[in-house]
Amino acid sequence: MATRVLRPGSRAVLTSLGGQPWRPLACWPALRSALPKLDGRRRSSQLPPGPQGAERLTSVSTEKRRATNSSPKTNFEAHKNREDVKEVVDVSDGTSGYKVLSTSSSLSFYHSDGRAAGKRGFALSNTWLRDNCRCPKCVNQETMQKSFNIFASPLPTPPAQEVQIEQRGIRVTWTHELHESFYDWAFIRHYLDNIARALPSKNRQLWGAEIKENPPTVTFAEVMDSESGVAKMTGLIRKFGLVFVNDTPFDDSIHTKKLLERIGPIRETHYGGFYDFIPDMAKADTAYTNIALAAHTDTTYFTDPAGLQAFHLLSHTPSPGEPDATGGESLLVDGFNAAEKLRESDRALFYELANRGLPWHASGNEGVTITPDQLYSVIELENDRETVQKIRWNNDDRGVLPLPKKSSPARQMLWYNAASKWEQILRGKELEYWFQLKPGTIVIFDNHRVLHGRSAFTGLRRICGGYISMDDFVSRWRNTNLPREEVLAQVIG
């Protein structure tokens, strides 16, 4: 094994003769022997043996880096004398609180006291800046699409000819084309502090059976008569994952269709678009029966499952020769709440459902076999691997559990144990919200979050509704709840 040691205060990189990094615990003896070379002032005897010492070493290095970044002398004062600095821009009147160094490849930003600006970093490349000019020559202001193609000229972008700091932002004139770009301080600050623009907090409110006391509700007239009504409805769906629309006319299903179209176009599937059906098995799916259905999400077999789903009970009448029409209570369960309950109960089982992909399918109708583009897990997480993004669960549509490369009965049972615990949580009385659908009330819910089911029933139930894609819903929510400028800042930059 070869040990490569960097300068004091840096991280040691341990490599095998083949150049591949060694695992930290496996290479601890070599790392320990290299410590005196890393910093003569910190002898190896001062560090505890094993990984605790490695953690302490990492902490020491991190503290050194933080101290370096916070020292004005090692930032602006030192950097302004570098050979590649073409221009030093300072503001004496303190309007912006920034100093800028312009080099052949980037602009570096510092606070007025010389500290490097930005949590992510303090330099933005000229190419990145030129590419993200938002002026009318570079972005079509009607379509908000790029008109300027950064790749039409050889990279990298030449240095700035002139940099001007203003109260509202920074103005840059580019040498090779004499084009002027302006970047406001909000834009600069955001990208110095963050890797990418992000949606505002979803402001999710988890719920259980207690939501029955005060379910999120709007009226049909509110939604149909004003954009503020649409904003209220989409905001409630965004927060709770569901909303009830009361006082909806039920003499004709067209009223339900028009209300859904206030959110977005109704999504077409192999079942059609807007649906209006009775339990007659017109489609080969258990939804077209009168049997009980456990809590599930729809269209698990789509690569992109349906975003919103809506149900409106238009009528429930006795079957011919029967005196009554009974049953058919509806069930909703907050899947995000259930996922958090599972995580609190057993993190290993939670991540088993989050990491293990499964096959899902729709194969009941002749000539139709739908399955996603890859295996998808029951719990899908966002990039941080912590935040729950989507629930995909319908035991009826689940295919055969794939076996891992190194399979054993115990390993196979791990997923089944996780799924069993998941089902127990979903069936818990504290999470189940049962209610009776009635003519005049539409229920709309987030199919990526809220699971639905029903009890068995007798008689003929006529139900209408439809699916709306998640992209269309989020777009409508954004544009009715946020200023246009903020929407564009989120999605464009």
Q: Rounded CA gap, 54 and 24, in Å?
A: 8
pLDDT tens track, the chain, 493 positions: 433 333 333 333 333 333 444 444 444 444 344 444 333 333 333 333 433 333 333 333 334 344 444 444 446 666 666 655 555 555 433 455 678 888 888 998 888 777 888 776 688 999 999 999 999 999 999 999 999 999 998 888 878 888 988 889 999 999 888 899 999 988 888 888 875 555 666 789 999 999 999 999 999 999 999 999 999 999 999 999 999 999 999 999 999 999 999 999 999 999 899 999 887 656 656 777 889 999 999 999 999 999 999 999 999 999 998 999 999 999 999 999 999 999 999 999 999 999 999 999 999 888 889 999 999 999 999 988 999 999 999 999 999 999 888 888 888 899 999 999 999 999 999 999 999 999 999 999 999 999 999 999 999 999 999 999 999 999 999 999 999 988 888 788 7
Query: Tokens for 320?
Result: 């011919």
pTM score, two decimals?
0.78
Contact yes or no for 184/109 (Cβ under 8 A): no
Which residues, including other chains, have CB under 8 Å from residue 472's CB and lie 6 or more apart? 263, 264, 265, 267, 307
Amino acid in the structure at residue 60: V
Residue 211: helix, strand or coil by DSSP? helix
Integer Cα distance of 231 and 234 in angstroms:
5
Residue 52 neighbours by CB under 8 Å, 6+ apart: none
Rg (CA), the chain: 30
DSSP-derived letter for residue 290 is S
Q: Strands 217-219 and 242-246: what pairing?
A: parallel
- What amino acid is encoded at 99 in this protein? K
**443 beta partners:** 244, 311
- Nearby residues of 481 by Cβ (< 8 Å), 6 or more positions away: 231, 234, 235, 238
Domains and CATH numbers, the chain: 2-69 (no CATH), 73-193 (3.30.2020.30), 204-493 (3.60.130.10)
Separation of alpha carbons 185 and 168, rounded Å: 6
171: β partners: 164, 182
Buried b (16+ CB within 10 A) or exposed e, 152-175: eeeeebbbbbebebeeebbebebe
Closest CA to 96 of 183, 182, 170, 162: 170
Cβ-based neighbour number of residue 484 at 10 Å? 9
One-letter-per-residue 3-state SS of 390-410: EECCCHHHECCCCCCCCCCHH
Return the closest-CA partner of residue 472 out of 311, 259, 306, 225.
306
Using alpha carbons, list the distances in angstroms from residue 291 to 275, 285, 286. Answer: 19, 11, 8
The runs of H, that is alpha helices, within 91-219 are 126-131, 185-193
Predicted confidence at residue 450, as pLDDT, reads: 99
Pairing verdict, β 388-391 and 379-381: antiparallel
- Note the Cα 287 to chain centre separation in Å: 30
Q: CB–CB of 366/374 below 8 Å?
A: no
CA 67/CA 415 separation, integer angstroms: 46
Largest Cα–Cα separation, the chain: 95
What is the rounded distance in angstroms from the CA atom of residue 335 to the CA atom of residue 447? 10
Neighbours of 144 (CB within 10 A): 11
**What pLDDT is stored for residue 69 in this prediction?**
44
Supply the pLDDT for residue 80. Answer: 60
Question: Looking at residue 166, what is its pLDDT?
Answer: 87
Please say whether the beta carbons of 310 and 260 come within 8 A.
Answer: yes
CA distances from 92 to 166, 167, 170 (A): 11, 12, 15
DSSP 225-252: H-HHHHHHHHHHHHHHSEEEEES---SS
Q: Do residues 471 and 336 touch, judged by C-beta distance below 8 A?
A: no
Rounded Cα–Cα distance for residues 330 and 327 (Å): 9
The amino acid sitting at 315 is S
